[in-house]
Structure 1
Amino acid sequence: MSTAAAQTADEFAVPTESLDARPGSRFMRPVEAIAVVLLLAIIAMLLTGVVSRYFFNQPITWIDEAASIAFLWLAMFGTAIAIDRAEHLRLTLFLSRMSDRRRALAETFGLVLIGTFLVALIPHAYEYAVGEMDITSSALNIPVGYRVSAIAVGMLLMLALIVAQLFRDSRLVDVVGSLAVVALIAAALWFLSPTLTGLGNLNILIFLVGGAAICLALGVPIAFCFGIATLMFLAFTTSMPLVVMVSRMDEGMSSLILLSVPVFVLLGCILDATGMGKAIVDFLASMLGHVKAGMSYVLLGSLFLVSGISGSKVSDMATVAPALFPEMKRRGHKPSEMIALLATGAAMADTVPPSIVLIVLGSVAGVSIAALFTSGFAIAIVLLVMLCALARVKARGELTDGVRRPSLKLIGKAALIASPALVLPFIIRSAVASGAATATEVSTVAVLYAFVIGMVLYGGISPRRIYAMFVETAAMSGAILLILGTAAAMAWALTQTGFAFQLRDMMSSLPGGWLSFMLLSILLFLVLGCVLEGLPAIVLLAPIMFPIARALGIHDVHYSMVIVTAMNIGLMAPPIGVGFYIACKVGNVSPDEAMGAIWPYIGALILGLLAIAVVPWFSLALL
């Protein structure tokens, strides 16, 4: 990868699934070790529960509680590790336009904002933990405060890392100036709080929209953008105690369904490390690589199948691109076209189980994970057909001279090598869709299967790489879950204002009925997908939008497929979509070069999205 290409991608976005995160500091080594132990404990407990329930018909009642405790501690330690490694999702589009001096000042100001947010919430996190000590868990019979103490401890760790980063990277004059500006803003808002209270829902625009937007422009990680905006809104326009915000963050991060998130993240790491994904790519190449547009079909088909194992866009693209791009270049594919196909293919495949976005949506909106997994598979096929049709049209000038059809022996050998990997996505989908196991149970079984098969048949993984995978999983999971926590707090604040009900009434009375609402939802989630990435948009708007959709007679699963597809398209749409820049970075292509080539593919996805929105059968036929 050229330095220029990497810098260009970094100027626009630093994704949660960071491709080149810096190594952790020595100070965090013990925390990383604890996080690894917690992740191992969660997987061991979940596997024990599965074996006990399905083989011995003896459910172990305390496992869910114990796993929940370990999960919250893992999430909070993971958020701290992600800060140490700079792996929190943030937008740096505006910072990249500044001079070096102004950028340094803006980043210092952003760090001070994060530190102020943590300082303000830590006492309330402690208060929340103390209050929860009076509540005893039902199975383990221990105080719940031991679990929620993780929030206060995690915030203290994050604060220590932020302070260390300020001392290490920022000029003293910038730190002092930023502290003074934050203090002046806080004093002014406190003085004006009686006036602000009387502004009603205008405060939503000022704080929850404006405050979050300013933080986003300053390059503050998205999780903290939501947290800072919500903190200001509650502190200066309401009389609500801030301990409630901590409790809402806890609720947003602690759903048992979300236990599958770190496990599926780990599954993606195993897929990448063992080469299981490459085996699938090689098999598809042997089947389709010799036909016109064959390599495009292979790329799209590989993303479809690999996504069914990893649940991670970055893992998918990093597995597929290096294996296919050299041959595609030899056949005359332009690098910009390859990036366009890679990015939109990743968007297409994001509804293929296991999908972390679908798991989170099911948790927030109360929709069956099994139904979402079944429908997501069908929706991805619709989008796959649209992209394949466009790829075939564009392949008219493809050079296939000298390309020979592989022998049946070679195809059979590739199929044999890939078969253990090929069955995994179908095991995951069928187990959840049939109700034989939950997404969490399937995720643990899939990790065990992939690890054993990877070690035995695909070359194995070194102990050092295994440890690094666990740390990477903790950091990535913590970054995701903190977004869910602060977004849940903001969504709750929105609901308490009554704005959600006003929005519901307004959107319910749109002319054109359910179709107008569906088109407006598509536009809204396309934009939010560009700016926020999928998960926070879901947590913020699902509690508001799903009741409206139900009132208009729209099936939950149908609506879920429409908004998730819209968000995925927005995520890959330049000039802001984070996923587009990740694809450019993976493929070593300048975003400026790829930007013009991606629009026909975005158009194909939008046509597929409109078909999915207008024809519910695509989403519901397999249910």
Structure 2
Amino acid sequence: MTTAIGFFALMFIGVPIAIVLGLTTLIYVLTTGNLTILQSMPSKLFNGLQNFGLVAIPMFILLGEFMNQGGITNRLLEFAKVIFGHFRGGLAYVNVVANMFLATIIGSSTAQTAVMSKTVVPVMEKEGYSRDFSSALTASASVVAPLIPPSMPFIIYGVTAGVSIGSLFLAGILPGIIFGLGFGLYIYTIAKKRNFPRSDRSSWSQVLKGTVYVLPALSIPVLIMVGITTGIFTATESAAVAVLVALLVGGFVYRELKWKHLPGILVRTIITTSTVTFLLAMSDIFGWVLNFNQIPQLITDAFLAVADNQFVFLLLVNLLLLLIGTVLEGVPALILLTPILVPIAVHYGVDPIHLGVIMVINLTLGLISPPVGSVLFVTSAVANVSVERLTRSLIPFLIISCLILMIITYIPWTTLGLQKLLGP
């Protein structure tokens, strides 16, 4: 009981989750006198990081830094505008498509929302869109960030659950596209009613020029997926190859990545990687405490007592994860919940790959859900719109997102079909 109180008290006062996990473990050791865990903590800390798949984390972080600094992000945004800008509500479509493009670079809803709120929302407002709608669309479209590879949450889930990261990358592509189509359909239905503006149609020469100009940028996500699906390299190896290509594209094709940028890029990569790996190490010893006290088994028994079939189990998982996602970031939540939920899902006949996609979607939706979703507050701060107004504009997008979530949850082909068609 003391351990549980300590855990929630530390969470409530805003202590970083990695510190919470470490201190909670220490509280347990001190209150129970369990010296076995205390003596084994150093080795457990390192054991939690001895997984080849974790090498992908710094590689994909470095990839995102190279692509942003190398001007690749701006090329993708401009290309989306050339292709979709002439439709009624064109900038709204550009927002969605640009989020899908940026998902191949950033892979984080919070970071992606900050970038898009700063770059696209002001442009949309200038063209005649309301700030509330533009901000809500930007926050909602960030849902695709962790779904379209490369994806940090999928790497974390794959390592924690012991499943193929490459298979998870494939599993996220179709759901990401479905979300994009869902938001696009909503924009289409309201564009005429709200008299959304449209830009002049780009000439064929502009389209051709934009396509040629963006091809080096598009080659990076294509290289990752083709390499994985053909078995040329693993997801981890693909990250290293993509980093090299991004370095060449940003430095020698677009010529915006300079030697002077490298120290800052490497420092940011080291800081972000250290944060994630420290969290993984702390979660490993915390998970050991949970297993030592048979907490996963108790939770399993509780699920089995309430859910007598797969349908009910998946419904309960969705509700649980949506709630948790509003108060806890995706990566910590995945680290804590994956070891608990995967064995239960297998018992109900749910594929772990399918469960991984469901978990990532739910936790991402939690980030844009009131009252405490972090993406909600990031969008509010960067776009300078009140949380109340933003929440009202988010409601249609949340409804659409939940409907898509139900489709993906109960139609496993949406996550597993591409793997069966293209997987190694």
TM-score by length of 2: 0.93
Distance 1:247 1:282 in 2: 50
Within 5 Å, which residues of 2 pair with 1:272-351?
A: 272-351=68-147
Distance 2:29 2:230 in 1: 44
Pick aligned residue for 2:323 from 508, 519, 527: 527
Q: What's the CA shift for 1:512?
A: 4.2
1:6 corresponds to which residue? none
2:26 corresponds to which residue? 231
Pick aligned residue for 1:245 from 10, 17, 41: 41
Letter in 2 for 1:211: G
Of residues 575-584 and 599-608 in structure 1, the stretch that sits farther from structure 2 once superposed is: 575-584
Structure 1 residue 618 corresponds to structure 2 residue 414: yes
Letter in 2 for 1:263: M
**Contact 2:53 / 2:236 at 8 angstroms: preserved in 1?**
yes
Within 5 Å, which residues of 2 pair with 1:61-210?
A: 203=1, 206-208=2-4, 210=5
Letter in 1 for 2:371: P
Letter in 2 for 1:563: M
Distance 1:595 1:248 in 2: 43
Pick aligned residue for 1:498 from 262, 279, 294: 294
Q: What secondary structure is seen at the aligned counterpart in 1 of 2:326?
A: helix
Q: What's the CA shift for 1:570?
A: 0.6
Size of the aligned set, in residue pairs, is 418
TM-score by length of 1: 0.64
Pick aligned residue for 1:578 from 345, 352, 374: 374
Letter in 1 for 2:22: G
Distance 1:471 1:235 in 2: 37
Q: What secondary structure is seen at the aligned counterpart in 1 of 2:104?
A: helix
Identity %: 28
Distance 1:323 1:582 in 2: 14
Structure 1 residue 221 corresponds to structure 2 residue 16: yes
Structure 1 residue 437 corresponds to structure 2 residue 233: yes
Distance 1:379 1:310 in 2: 17
Distance 2:197 2:53 in 1: 51
**Contact 1:574 / 1:580 at 8 angstroms: preserved in 2?**
yes
1:69 corresponds to which residue? none
Larger RCO, structures 1/2 (Cα 8 Å, 6+ apart): 2
**Contact 1:290 / 1:400 at 8 angstroms: preserved in 2?**
no
Structure 1 residue 538 corresponds to structure 2 residue 334: yes
580 and 505 in structure 1: CA distance in 2 versus 1, 3 angstrom threshold: same
Q: What's the CA shift for 1:391?
A: 2.4
418 and 475 in structure 1: CA distance in 2 versus 1, 3 angstrom threshold: same
Letter in 1 for 2:303: M
Distance 1:269 1:253 in 2: 23
Q: What secondary structure is seen at the aligned counterpart in 1 of 2:260?
A: helix
Within 5 Å, which residues of 2 pair with 1:390-539?
A: 390-399=186-195, 403-539=199-335
586 and 470 in structure 1: CA distance in 2 versus 1, 3 angstrom threshold: farther
Distance 1:351 1:620 in 2: 14
Distance 1:237 1:443 in 2: 43
**Contact 1:272 / 1:315 at 8 angstroms: preserved in 2?**
no
Structure 2 gaps, min length 5: 420-424
**Contact 2:96 / 2:141 at 8 angstroms: preserved in 1?**
yes
**Contact 1:268 / 1:312 at 8 angstroms: preserved in 2?**
no
417 and 230 in structure 1: CA distance in 2 versus 1, 3 angstrom threshold: same
The RMSD of aligned alpha carbons is: 1.9
Deviations 1:168-194 (A, max 9, x none): xxxxxxxxxxxxxxxxxxxxxxxxxxx
2:185 corresponds to which residue? 389
Find the structure with the greater CA-based Rg. Answer: 1
596 and 400 in structure 1: CA distance in 2 versus 1, 3 angstrom threshold: closer
541 and 384 in structure 1: CA distance in 2 versus 1, 3 angstrom threshold: same
**Contact 1:272 / 1:319 at 8 angstroms: preserved in 2?**
no
**Contact 2:113 / 2:375 at 8 angstroms: preserved in 1?**
no
2:422 corresponds to which residue? none
